[in-house]
Each structure stands twice: as structure tokens, then as C-alpha cells.
Amino acid sequence: MTQTPPNPRLAVVLMLSATAFIAGTTLMAKALGTAALGDPLHPLQISHGRFVFAFVFYAVASAVVRLKLTQPAWRLHFGRTLFGWGGVSCMFAAAAFIPLSDATAISFLNPVFAMMLAIPFLGERVGPVRWSAAAVAFVGALILLRPTPESFQPAALLALGAAVLMGMEVIFIKKLSGREKPFQVLLINNGIGVCIASAAVMAVWQMPNAAQVAVLASLGVCMALAQACFINAVARAEASFVVPFSYATLVFATFYDWAVFAQVPDLVSYLGAGIIISGAALLAWREAGLAKRQKARA
């Protein structure tokens, strides 16, 4: 198997592109989930469109490269996709009710939940540095929830739920790591996602208008491009170097929300987001250090 040559600069460009696409999907989900384009669509219908059009993108691409499936771990794929679909649906629901900056910042808790879930599901040990990083991130989340009767944001709990589900998805991704080619994983993930989303959307389906169909298609393609950019970025540089650039998602989400919906984050949003990113960055640094030690011992 040919190894991708290192290219840190290209890796940064690809990661920043991935963040721009990811922030774009939440912006489009917000437009579809509000009255911006007509009667609001249910979050389950938005996530259905995301999987349908992303799968079409990967199906066409797999036909072009003549992809051959090699012993897929179907149970792991199903578990990964089920939690990923649930996380995406909750995230899209949250985007319709709270600022994109808040929803995006809370979603950065998913590696924290993944760390905690790795204890019972992967048998990992968690030291004081990682627990401290988790505690810092949760303080930021508590700030963004605004837990007072006057300012509490119930919809922020949807973003928190999305982070938990995406954290569980990470557990399955770790179990799949190294077993199959990334392109195969993405194709199967989106294919199973179409099946799950299609079953879930039946009860809430409504006929979208032409503008909504176009945005749903764009959302799916943007998500597919984001996944492709992310995977190629990680393949071209050390994860400890390139992954921190993924926090630029918050910058893009804030800019998009301001440009399209004229929504500007308040001081509480900046404070909470900053604390969450600090905790997540500390956790990422610690994870990178542990990975290097394990690699040195191997």
C-alpha cells in the first residue's frame, strides 16, 4: 500500500477547508430548520438529505475509482453510523435554535465524551491531566448553557446530546481504525446512514421546495467534501500538528452566522467557547503525547 508523502502546508489547507465545509453544513441546516427558505424542515429530514446526497457523491466517486470492498466490519460500521446519525440530527436541531457559535463550541466536547466512554468500552486508563482537561471543557459548556431562569438555552442541551453521541461514534471509529481503507469506511458509513435516516424520516417527511432541495444537496456534498479533506489532511501530517486547526470551525460558523443571519456572539459565548477550546486543546495535546509514547514502545 502506497504511503501518502508528508506535506504539512497542504495538510493545514485541507484541514481549514474541512472546517469551512463543516461550518457550512450547520449554516445550511439552520436555514432549512428555520423559515429562511420556506416552511421549516424537521431535523430528521435535514439529516436524511445530508446522508442521501453524501452517499450519492461517494457512490459516484467509488464507481470512478472502481472501489472494491474488502471484508467490511459490518457491526462496527452500523454502530458508528447509528451514533453519527444521531449526533448529526441533534446538531442540526440545535443549529435552528441557538447561535452557530454556541452549537459548534459545545460540539467540541465530543473528544471529551469519547475519552470518558473509552474507559468502559475500550478499557483505557485516564490520568489526572486528561480529567483536568475534561473538567475545563465542561466548565465552558456550563457557561454556554447559561443556567439561570432568565437566560437558560434548552436547545443547547441538543448540542450537548450531539457531543455525547459523536463521542460514542469516536469509540467505533477507534475500533475501525486500521482495518479498512478510509474511502471504503466513508462509502459504507453514508450508505448505512441513508438506510437509518430513511426509516427515521418517514413520520416527519414533508415535500421540500426547490430551494430546500438545492440546499439539502449542497449540504450533503459539503459534508462529503469535509470528510475527504479531513482524512487527507491527517494523512499528510501528524495528527497532533494538524487537528488543532479543526477549531477554525468555530471561526467559520461565527462568520457565516453573522453574514447570513446577522447574529453576533455575546461575551458569554466568547468566554464559554474559549474555555471549551482550551480544555479540548489540552486533551488533544495529552492524547498526542500518549500516542507518541505508545509508538516509541512498539
Q: In which band, very low, low, confident or very high, does the pLDDT at 3 lie, cut at 50, 70 and 90?
A: low
**Is the model more confident about 270 or about 287?**
270
Q: Is 213 exposed, middle or buried (0-12, 13-18, 19+ CB in 10 A)?
A: middle
List C-alpha distances in Å: 235 to 101, 132, 169, 230.
28, 29, 20, 9
**253-274: average pLDDT:** 94
List C-alpha distances in Å: 233 to 5, 11, 218, 242.
11, 4, 22, 7
- Mean pLDDT taken over the chain: 91
pLDDT at residue 1, as a whole number:
43
Element (H, E) at 9: helix 8-33
**Is the model more confident about 253 or about 238?**
253
What is the tens place of the pLDDT at every residue in 137-172?
Answer: 999 999 998 877 766 788 899 999 999 999 999 899
Taking alpha carbons only, the member of 97, 100, 116, 104 closest to residue 43 is: 97
pLDDT above 70 covers what percent of the chain?
A: 97
Element (H, E) at 277: helix 267-297
Contact status, residue 28 vs residue 218, Cβ threshold 8 Å: yes
CA angle 54, 55, 60 (to 5 degrees): 105
pLDDT above 90 covers what percent of the chain?
A: 68
**212-231: average pLDDT:** 95
Contact status, residue 245 vs residue 20, Cβ threshold 8 Å: no
**221-233: average pLDDT:** 92
**3-state class of 236 per DSSP?**
helix
Backbone angles phi, psi at 152, to 5 degrees: -60, 135
Contact status, residue 130 vs residue 114, Cβ threshold 8 Å: no
Is the pLDDT assigned to residue 208 strictly greater than 80?
Answer: yes
Q: Tell me the domain boundaries of the chain.
A: 8-297
DSSP state of 228: H
266 vs 83: CA distance, rounded Å: 31
- Predicted TM-score (pTM) of this structure: 0.90
**285-298: average pLDDT:** 75
